[in-house]
């Protein structure tokens, strides 16, 4: 998939949230060996160093990998100097001369503008290729666009069959901003994959429920980053060999309940 600034991004990658230490290192290496070329991390995940080691262990050339990280909320609150220092630390920890995609992790009130302007500096320096946002609603995005010299290319938001985000996605697409779906299978107590419709469709297409969900996301022209779990790598990669019917796409979307996997994950009220 091509971003608005001309860079290409793999439509499916792997997320590394909750992965720490050598587990993060090994899972990233295995993901790359299984053919994934998009790795998503964040300063707040506290695993950038191990993600970088996993990339090095894989032997895959850096220019074949699309690497995403995010500026942490606590760093944003500390001011522009801390944002700059954090980006330099991310580059060192990831052992890379450039970051493919740098995101603002959450729309921290009164902290987005100086964070964005620091990120723009790194694009101009060639140390960051693309910049974007995460968990932004329309009013957050409108405010950012009022002063941004470089437009965001991605908005990474929670998307799964119980949280379809149709209006938010449409707004972003109209602005030329691609949407990356995090948490495609839900999290915590939300049982997305056990939904009877998804189980029925899995039997119909002779796939797993997780493959049905990923295919539903891909057919919506979204990018997605299911968490890096080695026992699902081959399964998650095998979603380009079938296509859901229009009727089944609509049926999955009709499952929407605007249900977040964690009530705290609300861009308007998040506590971190």
**Three-state SS at 12:** strand
> What six digits make up the tokens of 8?
């290409």
Identify the sign of the CA torsion 111, 112, 118, 122.
positive
Task: Please pick, among 7, 45, 50, 147, the residue that the annotation labels catalytic.
Answer: 45
CA distances from 243 to 155, 233, 246, 249, 270 (A): 25, 19, 9, 10, 36
Paired with 12 in beta bridges are 224
User: Does the active-site annotation cover 7?
Assistant: no
* Tokens describing residue 219: 């057919």
Decide if 48 contacts 71 (C-beta within 8 A): no
Q: Give all strands of the β-sheet with 99-104 in edge-to-edge order.
A: 14-15, 38-40, 66-71, 99-104, 128-134, 154-158, 178-182, 223-224
Residue 139, H or E segment: helix 138-145
Compute how many other C-beta atoms are within 10 angstroms of the C-beta atom of residue 185: 20
The answer to whether 179 and 159 are in contact (CB under 8 A) is yes
Residues assigned a catalytic role: 45
């Amino acid at each position: 998939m091509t971003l608005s600034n001309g860079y290409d991004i793999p439509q499916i990658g792997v997320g590394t949230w909750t992965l720490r230490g050598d587990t993060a290192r090994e899972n990233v290496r295995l993901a790359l060996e299984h053919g994934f070329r998009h790795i998503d991390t964040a300063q707040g995940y506290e695993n950038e160093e191990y993600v970088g080691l996993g990339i090095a262990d894989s032997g895959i050339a850096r220019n074949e990998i699309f690497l995403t990280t995010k500026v942490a909320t606590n760093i944003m609150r500390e001011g522009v100097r801390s944002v700059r220092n954090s980006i330099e630390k991310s580059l060192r920890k990831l052992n890379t001369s450039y970051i493919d995609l740098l995101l603002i992790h959450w729309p921290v009130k009164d902290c987005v503008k100086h964070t964005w302007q620091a990120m723009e500096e790194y694009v101009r320096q060639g140390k960051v290729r693309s910049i974007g946002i995460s968990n932004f609603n329309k009013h957050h995005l409108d405010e950012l666009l009022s002063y941004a010299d470089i437009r965001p290319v991605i908005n990474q938001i929670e998307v799964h069959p119980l949280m379809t985000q149709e209006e938010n996605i449409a707004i972003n697409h109209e602005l030329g901003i691609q949407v990356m779906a995090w948490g495609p299978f839900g999290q915590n107590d939300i049982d997305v994959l056990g939904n009877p419709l998804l189980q029925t469709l899995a039997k119909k297409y002779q796939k797993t429920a997780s493959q049905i969900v990923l295919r539903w996301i891909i057919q919506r022209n979204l990018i997605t980053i299911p968490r890096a779990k080695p026992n699902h790598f081959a399964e998650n990669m095998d979603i380009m060999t079938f296509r859901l019917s229009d009727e089944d796409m609509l049926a999955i979307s009709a499952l929407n309940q605007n249900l977040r996997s964690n009530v705290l994950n609300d861009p308007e009220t998040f506590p971190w």
